[in-house]
């Protein structure tokens, strides 16, 4: 601004505007980033910005560089936009959208990404833990980077816990480690979800074992469903809601089961059980302890290791037969 004796803003430093406050420094940085984008696009179009320019030269470079922004020539109300009169802050908004799209790159199909990351099965791996995915960081994990933590019904989750998903090439979840979820942006609360699922699955295993069911290291789907139907009552979930609606506990989401477990005695009345409430409390404490110990062990084990599921082996099951 020659008339007001102001140098070209491209020479400004943060210290020059610090007396105006934090927002002024942020504005300066945003303007510099915006102008750098315009200069880069203008250069590609053959309009190379000079160290010093006239108003006409600057306008020509701006018109060439602003074409790099993707925005409609009309407003949402149908009015035409005068690009030359747009506020710089409005252009900054479109500049950020452009930067995000450039960083994201082309969309990747999750299934294709999983196929690319899948590691060929090795004969040296145990049959129940031989499906691995190599992520972009070079670490092998039991799930692909695009994996989404399943929100299944209680019975279906129990099947996945013990049997995995053979068609999707996912190992039984009971051998998962918290490290298997590291580096997966699509998995939220992965470690917490795994810990919560481990707790309720261990409670079901303990109860099923007490009723004579065999909790095998490798189970078929029918065996898993039978164990779940025998042991799910240990969660002590009310069979009806507060509104009186009946609940199908085996089909309710595992997250709901985790939230509602041990709510059956909230009214303080007799639930028709065998009076062994202390034993139920002990079982849950043991289940949580097993989950906590598992997480502690996982922090020291490399993802390529062959962990054993010792959830039940460390627990005493009176008058029950458990194969581990």
- In angstroms, the CA 18 to CA 179 distance is 45
- pLDDT, residue 162, reads 95
pLDDT at 7 over 80: yes
Please tell me which residue, 84 or 41, carries the higher pLDDT value.
Answer: 41
221-226: list long-range contacts, CB under 8 Å, 24+ apart.
221/159, 221/163, 223/162, 224/158, 224/159, 224/161, 224/162, 224/163, 225/155, 225/158, 225/159
Each residue of 282-304: pLDDT tens digit?
Answer: 555 555 555 554 444 443 333 33
Least confident range of 107-116, 160-169, 236-245, 287-296:
287-296
Q: How does residue 220 score in pLDDT terms, banded at 50, 70 and 90?
A: very high
pLDDT score, position 270:
37
Q: Is the predicted pLDDT of residue 306 greater than 70, yes or no?
A: no
Which residues 6+ apart lie within 8 Å of 148 measured at CB? 186, 187
**Contact in structure between 211 and 231 (CB atoms under 8 Å):** yes
Asked if residue 144 lies in contact with residue 112, where contact means CB atoms within 8 angstroms, the answer is no
Q: pLDDT class for 178, splitting at 50, 70, 90?
A: confident
The pLDDT mean for the chain works out to: 76
What confidence score (pLDDT) does residue 235 get? 94
- Average pLDDT (80-97) is 68
- pLDDT higher than threshold 70 for residue 64: yes
pLDDT at residue 267 is higher than 60: no
pLDDT of 71 reads 62
Of 232, 266, 231, 271, nearest to 252 by C-alpha is: 232
Which of 51-55, 209-213, 214-218, 311-315 bottoms out in mean pLDDT, i.e. has the lowest? 311-315
Q: Give the tokens for residue 179.
A: 């490290």
The pLDDT-based confidence of 183 (bands split at 50, 70, 90) is low
Q: Which helix (H) or strand (E) holds 134?
A: strand 132-134
Condensed to tens digits (0 to 9), the pLDDT of residues 97-138 reads 444 444 444 556 778 888 888 888 777 777 778 888 888 878
For residue 12, name the pLDDT band (cuts at 50, 70, 90).
confident
Residue with tokens 């039940």: 312
Higher pLDDT, residue 229 or 263:
229
Residue 269 has pLDDT above 60, yes or no: no
Q: What is the pLDDT of residue 203?
A: 95
Q: Which two tokens stand for residue 273?
A: 């059980």
pLDDT confidence bin for 95, thresholds 50/70/90:
low
Instruction: Look at residue 242 in the predicted model and tell me its pLDDT.
Output: 86
SS3 assignment for 16-79:
HHHHHCHHHHHHHHHHHHHHHHHHHHHHHCCCCCCCCCCHHHHHHHHHHHHHHCCCCCECCCCC
User: How many angstroms separate the CA atoms of 144 and 191, rounded?
Assistant: 15
User: Is pLDDT of 58 > 90?
Assistant: no
pLDDT tops 90 at residue 254:
yes
Name the token pair of 10.
């491209």
Helices then strands, counting H and E runs in the chain, come out as 10, 3
Query: Within the chain, what is the greatest distance between any pair of CA atoms?
Result: 95
| DSSP for residue 133 | E
Structure tokens at 271: 């639930």
Confidence band, pLDDT 50/70/90 cuts, at residue 157: very high
């Amino acid at each position: 601004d020659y008339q007001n004796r102001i140098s070209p803003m491209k020479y400004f430093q943060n210290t020059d505007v610090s007396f105006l406050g934090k927002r002024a420094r942020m504005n300066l940085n945003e303007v510099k980033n915006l102008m750098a984008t315009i200069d880069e696009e203008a250069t590609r179009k053959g309009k190379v910005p000079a160290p010093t320019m006239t108003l006409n030269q600057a306008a020509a470079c701006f018109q060439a560089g602003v074409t790099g922004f993707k925005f409609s020539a009309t407003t949402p109300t149908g009015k035409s936009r005068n690009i030359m009169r747009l506020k710089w802050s409005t252009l900054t908004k479109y500049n950020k959208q452009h930067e995000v799209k450039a960083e994201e790159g082309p969309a990747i199909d999750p299934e294709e990404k999983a196929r690319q990351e899948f590691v060929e099965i090795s004969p040296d791996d145990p049959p129940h833990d031989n499906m691995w995915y190599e992520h972009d960081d070079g670490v092998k994990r039991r799930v692909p980077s695009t994996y989404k933590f399943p929100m299944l019904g209680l019975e279906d989750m129990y099947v996945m816990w013990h049997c995995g998903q053979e068609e999707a090439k996912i190992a039984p979840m009971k051998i998962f480690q918290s490290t298997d979820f590291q580096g997966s942006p699509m998995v939220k609360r992965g470690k917490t979800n795994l810990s919560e699922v481990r707790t309720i699955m261990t409670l079901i295993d303990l109860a099923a074992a007490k009723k004579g069911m065999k909790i095998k290291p490798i189970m078929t789907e029918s065996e898993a469903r039978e164990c779940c139907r025998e042991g799910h009552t240990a969660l002590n979930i009310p069979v009806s809601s507060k509104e009186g609606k009946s609940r199908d506990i085996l089909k309710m989401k595992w997250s709901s089961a985790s939230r509602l477990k041990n709510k059956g005695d909230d009214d303080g009345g007799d639930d028709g059980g065998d009076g062994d409430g202390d034993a139920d409390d002990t079982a849950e404490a043991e289940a949580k302890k097993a989950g906590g110990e598992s997480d502690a062990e996982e922090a020291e084990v490399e993802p390529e290791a062959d962990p054993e599921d010792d959830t039940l082996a460390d627990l005493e099951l009176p008058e029950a037969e458990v194969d581990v």
